[in-house]
Structure 1
Amino acid sequence: MASFRYKVLQKDGSLSEGILEAPSRGVATRALNEKGWQVLSMSEEKEKAGKKKAVKEVSTGQPVKNSSSAPIENRLSSKQLVQFTEELSDLLSAGVQLDTSLQSIGKRSESPAIGRVASACYDKVREGVPLAKALRLSSTSFNDLYCNLVSAGEVSGALGDILKRQVKYLNTLADLKGKLTTALIYPSFLIVSGVAVSAMFTFFLIPKLRRLVESTGGKLPPIARIL
């Protein structure tokens, strides 16, 4: 039987710490979740030299850094990222527990990619891994900004609200990218057309005009001869 030091977010939004004895970290996490508590961090305690010493840190509460260990096949498109965030936000705001929300998204999502990401996050959260870290380990689609905001939401107890703001930000960013792409289409068309017309004059029309003028005994203007 091992001892686990935990830090949880209770139903009323208050933080609580303590030590729980359980056969494994997963069992300890499930026991806390059954009380309606959201596990923020958990570390295993072991006896050494008459004192307890934490040897395995699951969560540090620090900003999550980029990791290249996330499966490439779990990458989400911009629309899928918004959909995943929106669904998770709605479930959490409705009072559904985090692990249950992820499990529901994983099973019911019509998008295979979203389902894989949600299921991977669910497995890690059930092991006591914070959501911010679970997201980064599950997919490369979640950047530092996204994960750090989620981490802040977990600590403050306002994860649902944070995710709603993230949905608005992602939608605004997508609209901006769309407008920028549209704005660049016309200038790009003009540039390509200009290059095509210049090439046509240089390699086709001017040589033909030169031969025509020379056949009549005339000469091309200096600018035409330079071209």
Structure 2
Amino acid sequence: MATFQYRALAASGAAVSGQIEAASHADAVGSLRKAGMRPIEIAEPKAGAARTKRGGKTPARLITNVFAELGVLLQAGLPLDRALAIAVENVEQPPLRARLADVLAAVREGKPLSAALSAHSDLFPGLAPAMTEAGEANGKLGEALARLAQMLEQADEQRRQIGSAMTYPIALGVIALGVILLMLLFVVPQFEGLFASAPPGKLPAASLFVMGASQFVRANGLIILAVLAGAGFAARTALARPGGAAWLDRTILDVPQIGVLVRNIETVRFARSLGALIEGGVPLPNALALARRTVTNGHMSAAIGEVTDIVRQGGGLAAPLAERRVLPTMALSFIRTGEETSQLGPMLARLSTVLDRDVKVRLERVIAVATPVIVVSLGVLVAAMVASIMSAILGFNDLAVAQ
């Protein structure tokens, strides 16, 4: 049995919170519903969770929870201002609570929720006002906010998966570099005095190379750091220019395996956002313009922008996307089918689910290949350094025996 923290809506319409013991998340939901409550949020408590400091960055998870809570409360029949008031009361982070209080005040003054959210564009994602406005127009604001929360949660989950997948290889790479520098800066110099007395031509070539590398790094360490810093600054400056960034984004898509992975990740973001916007009632041209913002690859974003202009002029979606060859073949098939059956929104949602699974598999493959390559490379480099030193020492022993 596990203990879950919950927030729920009682039969009277009041928001309640507490803890419940259950074997699983599903059992906790069932127990609350049997008790006549409608769950808003259920989570297993995490030990040692740190609170966000006042004025700090608001985690995306908190914003997602706010939209999910509003969706549940509105679908339960509560007025918008009452639902917002409950959401404000339940937020613990002071900066977010203050922003939501401003949104509540604007709504009570008669402004639409979409306009109130737009006034805080630095906090809420750009898709939020559009989906909210569509929900206000068709009278399904609760469903629109619930769909928005689901989309944001899926996007956040994808970011966490990518970050977790890349953490281990990056850590191994840093450790490998640290071990090599440790050998060159501290271990190899311990044998310099011994090797200095060796007769000319008696040291192995590998030993001479390692000793020379150690001396070069120690003598020119600051220069090496300055060159690396300058190269990094120059690369950053070049990539900050439109031409440089476009070249990098286009080149990444052409890299074997990595390009396919990046293309699929971007397509998942685009399809998920576009599908949610269309199902929320946002017109296709506007939905395309908003979904394009979720695409971080400049080359793909530019192509989608061109397609958006064509759609605004009355053109289709699948054909111009196929001409620009920025989306996977599978994505084009799903989009074409969605257009032909007038089910573009559901097909895009299905596409994002299918490609998201493919991204997970490809990430696992990348990690499965990168991890042993880094470990073996580190082992070979360290072993080569040790072998070069040991061969020189054994050479000294042979000379001593011969004498």
Q: Which TM-score bucket, shorter chain as reference?
A: 0.5 to 0.7
Encode CA deviations 1:87-138: one digit per residue, 9 max, x unaligned: 1111110111112211232245444444323321111012121111112324
Q: CA deviation at 1:209?
A: 2.3
- Paired position in structure 1 for 2:151: 169
For residue 143 of structure 1, report the CA deviation from its aligned partner: 2.2
Output the amino acid matched with 2:170. S
Q: For 1:213, which of 192, 195, 204 is the aligned residue?
A: 195
Distance 2:56 2:121 in 1: 5
Query: For 1:194, what is the secondary structure of its paired residue?
Result: helix
- Which of 168, 173, 183 does residue 201 from structure 1 map onto? 183
TM-score (norm 2): 0.36
Say which structure is richer in helix. 2
Alpha-carbon distance in 2 for matches of 1:124, 1:118: 10
- Residue 151 (structure 1) shift: 1.1
Alignment of 1:39-58 (within 5 A): none
Counterpart of 2:164 in structure 1 is 182
Render the CA deviation track for 1:33-91: whole Å, top value 9, x for unaligned.
xxxxxxxxxxxxxxxxxxxxxxxxxxxxxxxxxxxxxxx95963212101211111111
Call closer, same or farther: CA 1:216–1:197 in 2, change over 3 Å: same
Q: Which amino acid aligns with 1:180?
A: I
Aligned to 1:88: 70
Residues 1:143 and 2:125 are matched in the alignment? yes
Letter in structure 1 aligned against 2:142: G
Match of 1:116 among 95, 98, 109: 98
Q: 1:219, CA displacement in angstroms?
A: 3.3
Distance in 2 (alpha carbons) for counterparts of 1:110 and 1:224: 57
Shift of 1:224: 2.4
**Cα distance in 1, alignment partners of residues 101 and 56 from structure 2:** 11
Tell me the secondary structure at the aligned position of residue 96 of structure 1: coil
Aligned to 2:210: 224
Give the structure 2 partner of residue 104 of structure 1: 86
Check whether the contact 2:68–2:150 (CA below 8 A) recurs between aligned residues. Answer: no
Q: What one-letter code is carried by the residue in structure 1 that aligns with 2:126?
A: D
How far 1:161 sits from its partner (Å)? 0.9
Q: 1:128 to 1:74 in 2, by over 3 A?
A: farther
Percent of matched pairs sharing the same residue: 26
Unaligned runs of 5+ in 2: 1-53, 214-403
CA distance in 2, matches of 1:128, 1:77: 29
SS of 1:124 mapped into structure 2: helix
CA contact (8 A) 1:120 1:138 kept: no
How many residue pairs match? The answer is 156
After superposition, the C-alpha distances for 1:159-214 in whole angstroms (9 at most, x for unaligned) are 11111111111111121121111111111111111111111122122222232222
Relative to structure 1, the CA distance from residue 203 to residue 112 in structure 2 (aligned partners, 3 Å threshold; closer, same or farther) is closer
Structure of higher RCO (CA pairs closer than 8 Å, 6+ residues apart): 1
Cα gap change, 1:108 to 1:177, in 2 (>3 Å):
closer
Q: Any conservation in 2 of the 1:84–1:114 contact (CA below 8 Å)?
A: no
Q: Which residue identity is paired with 1:219?
A: L
Distance (Å, rounded) in 2 between the aligned partners of 1:99 and 1:144 = 22
Code of the aligned partner of 2:167: I
SS at match of 1:200: helix
In 2, Cα distance between equivalents of 1:185 and 1:109: 31
1: CA distance, partners of 2:125 / 2:189: 56
> Alignment RMSD, CA only?
2.4
Q: Is the 8 A contact 2:67 2:148 kept in 1?
A: yes
**Helix, strand or coil at the partner of 2:86:** helix
1:58-97 matched pairs, under 5 angstroms: 73=55, 76-97=58-79
TM-score (norm 1): 0.61
Question: Is the CA contact (8 Å cut-off) linking 2:64 and 2:153 kept in structure 1?
Answer: yes
